Amino acid sequence: MTSAAAHFRRLSLKELALRLVAALLGTFLLFLLGLPLLSLLVRVPIGELLDRLRDPIVVEALRLSLLTSAASTFAIMLLGLPVAYLLATAEFRGKRLLEVLVALPMVLPPTVAGVALLTAFGRTGLAGGVLGGLGVELPFSTLGVVVAQMFVAAPFFIGATRAGLAEVDRRYLDASATLRADPVRTFFRVMLPLALPSLLAGAAMGWARALGEFGATITFAGNMPGVTQTMPLAVYIALQTDVEAAITLSVVLLMVSLAVLLSVRLAPSGFTALGVRAGLSDR
Amino acid sequence: MTAGAGVSVVLAAWLVLTPGGWAQAPTTGSTPGTLTVFAAVSLTDAFQELARGLERQHPGLRVQFNFAGSQQLAVQLEQGARADLFASADRRWMAYAEGRGLVAGEPQLFARNRLVVIVPRSNPARIGRLEDLTRRGIKLVVAAEAVPAGKYSREALQNLAGAPGFPPDYARRVLANVVSEEENVRSVVAKVQLGEADAGMAYRSDVNRSAAPHLRVFDIPDEFNVLASYPVAVLKEARDPDAAHAFIRLLLSPAGQGVLQRHGLLPR
């Protein structure tokens, strides 16, 4: 008994030391992550921020950013959910390959993604002829911005959603089956609601990545105010001529990102309760 | 915690905390024996050849470049980037650097450049002459207005508006076809070279050996063209002003001017 208590105390002392070192080292990272954000905020007076929000270039860029990132996130959810479902539930030939493929854009430098998109969907690209025949020209178009965002952001949604679907307890699915729910019904009424928090977290991460997209966009879709110049591009272009404007634009983008991240962070618990109830109280 | 882990934690802390460790390692700064040149991206090919010449003349000297749009270089210098030389594609951004006290001595003009209109060799929009650029639906790519080439492009289009055979609203109609404002002139060339744009405006010197086989070039008549002037100056923060002056001497020498001309630039 006493030796066990001593053992316990010794362990927790070591643990304490470990945590202290971790906190010490963590402080440096916190500094690295936090200071740039803080310094952006203190650099810009609120009045100037509001003035800048009326600048047509900013309005256009912000509108375009919100529009394209919403569109790409929606498309990723629509097309990514089936992929996540297959990866989470099925074993098939080429699954490993598919896994690598959907994760690749995450590690690919965005500029490389842009060049790859040009060689695939550009006018002279592999699929460019087919797209052209359908009257679709992606480079220099708003749709091109959406495609670039989808390319870089899809892995975030698919990864999180797949994990969420895989974690759903088999017993619920079996129960649903014994109640004679067909697989489609089971998926939509049981599996999906249970995985909803992961799905929403994945969508939020994908959306954030899409909103911040720069390299693939400027390479693939170019830079045209009102058409392809999203906020990150506007920041970059402004930085070359008017540093103060670039800083203000950055703060605007930071605020928008923060707002969405916070709303998602605060929401999941509510969604979980909602999801479980909606999914399981049916029968 | 094992002794090994303890050692590595201490080591990591030491690396992070020690002044003169990683944090001090020069990134873009120059070290003795290294000449750092910030140059307009349109000078890329000519300057790289000149640098090899200078390195041969001065064994041990290494020339390193930061090629970008002149506007970006000027702002980088203003924000504290360290370099020995600044070569701008127009007087505007050299004046900007001078106005912020970054330049030592008088900038010197060393070259000029002409604008041209480029189209992909396959010429998907069937552009046969400069007047065709007004045709609706053409995908034209130019440099952004802040970029020297972008400013010159707009000026040249304005000049052409008064030329015989060109409509008075030529510039407006051509600019209505712009699908992208690139952040430097070499990106304009890339988009045209890839065949994604139907036409672009760039410097004669941008049609270099690697781009030329993929492009068709339309000259803008001299009387309507804008001559880009390239000034160069030693910077106040230069670590190796001697090497910087040697580079300028080479630029202005007949041999240096010859190199510039071989790469499509005009003598000063």
CA-nearest residue to A139 within chain B is B196
Q: Do B195 and A243 make contact, defined as CB atoms within 8 angstroms? A: no
Question: Quick check: A189 and A279 in contact, CB under 8 A?
Answer: yes
| B50/A contact by beta carbon, under 8 A | no
Q: Tell me, yes or no, whether B119 and B141 share the same domain.
A: yes
Percent share of chain B, pLDDT over 90: 73
In this structure, the answer to whether residues B195 and B253 fall within a common structural domain is no
pLDDT exceeds 70 at position B4: no
Buried/exposed code over B203-222 (b: 16+ C-beta within 10 A; e: otherwise): bbbbbbeebeebbbebebee
Whether A39 and A64 share a structural domain: no
Residues A20 and A75 in one domain: no
Q: Which residues of B touch A237 (CB under 8 A)?
A: 144, 146, 181, 183
CB contact under 8 A, A139 and B196: yes
Between A244 and A267, where is the model more confident? A244
- Same-domain check for residues A212 and A161: yes
Q: Do A227 and B124 touch (CB under 8 A)?
A: no
All residues of chain A having their beta carbon less than 8 Å from the beta carbon of residue B122 are 124
Residue A181 banded pLDDT, cuts 50, 70, 90: confident
Chain A residue numbers touching B177 (CB-CB < 8 A): none
pTM of the model: 0.79
* Tens of pLDDT, residues B5-44: 444 544 444 444 444 334 433 434 444 589 999 999 999 9
| Residue B75 domain flag | yes
Judge if A246 and A159 occupy the same domain: yes
| Owning domain of residue A159 | 47-280
Q: Which of B2, B100, B179, B184 to mutate to test the interface with A (most CBs of A within 10 A)?
A: B179
| B223 and B120 housed in the same domain | yes
Q: What pLDDT does A281 receive?
A: 37
Please give the pLDDT value at position B28.
Answer: 42
pLDDT at A25 over 80: yes
Task: Work out the minimum CA distance from A24 to partner chain B, whole angstroms.
Answer: 9
Q: What tens digit of pLDDT does each residue of B169-202 get?
A: 999 999 999 999 998 899 999 999 999 999 999 9
First CA to last CA across chain A, in angstroms?
51
Q: Which residue type, as a one-letter code, is found at position B252?
A: L
CATH number at residue B186: 3.40.190.10
Three-state secondary structure of B120-176:
ECCCCCCCCCHHHHHCCCCCEEEECCCCHHHHHHHHHHHHHHCCCCCCCCHHHHHHC
By Cβ distance, the residue of B72, B144, B194 closest to A223 is B144
Provide the chain B residues 214-253 that lie in CB contact (below 8 A) with chain A: none
Residue numbers in B near A225 (CB within 8 A):
181
pLDDT of A217 over the 60 cut: yes
- The verdict on a CB contact (< 8 Å) between A237 and B144 is yes
State the pLDDT at residue A180. 83
One domain for residues A128 and A187: yes
pLDDT surpasses 60 at A280: no
Chain B: closest CA distance from residue A143 (Å): 13
Domain identity same for B235 and B180 = no
What is the identity of the amino acid at A115? V
Paired with B217 in beta bridges are B118
Using the Cβ of B71 and the Cβ atoms of chain A, whether some distance falls under 8 Å is answered with: yes
List Cβ neighbours of B192 (8 Å cut-off, separation of 6 or more): B118, B119, B120, B141, B199, B200, B202, B215
**Is residue A95 scored above 50 in pLDDT?**
yes
Of A118, A225, A228, the CB nearest to B196: A118
What pLDDT shows up at residue B36?
94
Under an 8 A CB cutoff, do B196 and A223 touch? no
- Closest chain B CA to residue A237: B183
Specify whether B161 is located in the same domain as B237: no
pLDDT of residue A9: 58
Same domain, A7 and A144: no
The Cα of B197 is separated from the nearest Cα of chain A by a number of Å equal to 9
Question: Does the pLDDT of residue A117 top 60, yes or no?
Answer: yes
Q: Which amino acid is at A202?
A: G
B184/A contact by beta carbon, under 8 A: no
With contacts defined as CB-CB under 8 Å, which chain A residues touch B70? Answer: none
Handedness of CA B160, B161, B166, B170 (dihedral sign): positive
Domain co-membership, A120 together with A252: yes
* Interface contact flag, A223 B183, Cβ < 8 Å: yes
Contacts of B69 in chain A (CB under 8 A): 240
On whether both A200 and A230 belong to a single domain, the answer is yes
Pairing of strands B103-120, B227-235: antiparallel
Q: What is chain B's length?
A: 268
Confidence of residue A13 (pLDDT cuts 50, 70, 90): confident
The set of residues, in sequence order, having a beta carbon less than 8 Å from that of B159 and lying 6+ positions away, is B224, B225, B226
pLDDT above 90 (res B258): yes
Provide the pLDDT confidence category of residue B116 given band limits of 50, 70 and 90: very high
Structural domain boundaries enclosing B251: 28-112+228-267
pLDDT for A11: 66
Q: How many distinct structural domains can be found in chain B?
A: 2
B132 in contact with A at a CB cutoff of 8 Å? no
Same domain, A31 and A122: no
Task: Judge: B194–A122 Cβ closer than 8 Å, yes or no.
Answer: yes
Which of A27-31, A138-142, A157-161, A253-257 comes out lowest in average pLDDT? A253-257
Do the beta carbons of residue B62 and residue B34 sit within 8 Å?
yes
Q: How far is A77 from chain B (nearest CA, A)?
A: 30
Q: Looking at the structure, do residues B216 and B232 belong to the same domain, yes or no?
A: no
B15 lies in a domain? no
B56 inside domain: yes
Q: Say what the pLDDT of residue A5 is.
A: 54
CATH number of the domain that A85 lies in?
A: 1.10.3720.10
pLDDT score for B3: 47
Q: Report d(CA B240, CA B243) in Å as an integer.
A: 6
In a domain, B13, yes or no: no
Q: Is B79 close to A243, i.e. CB distance below 8 A?
A: yes
Question: Could you tell me the CA-to-CA distances from B244 to A44, B59, B92, B93, B241 in Å, in that order?
Answer: 38, 15, 22, 19, 5
- Asked if residue B190 belongs to a domain, the reply is yes
Residues 6+ apart with CB under 8 A from B86: B37, B38, B39, B73, B74, B77, B94, B97, B102, B103, B232, B233, B235
Structure tokens at A41: 């905020």
The rounded radius of gyration (Å) of the Cα atoms in chain A is 23
ipTM of the complex: 0.73
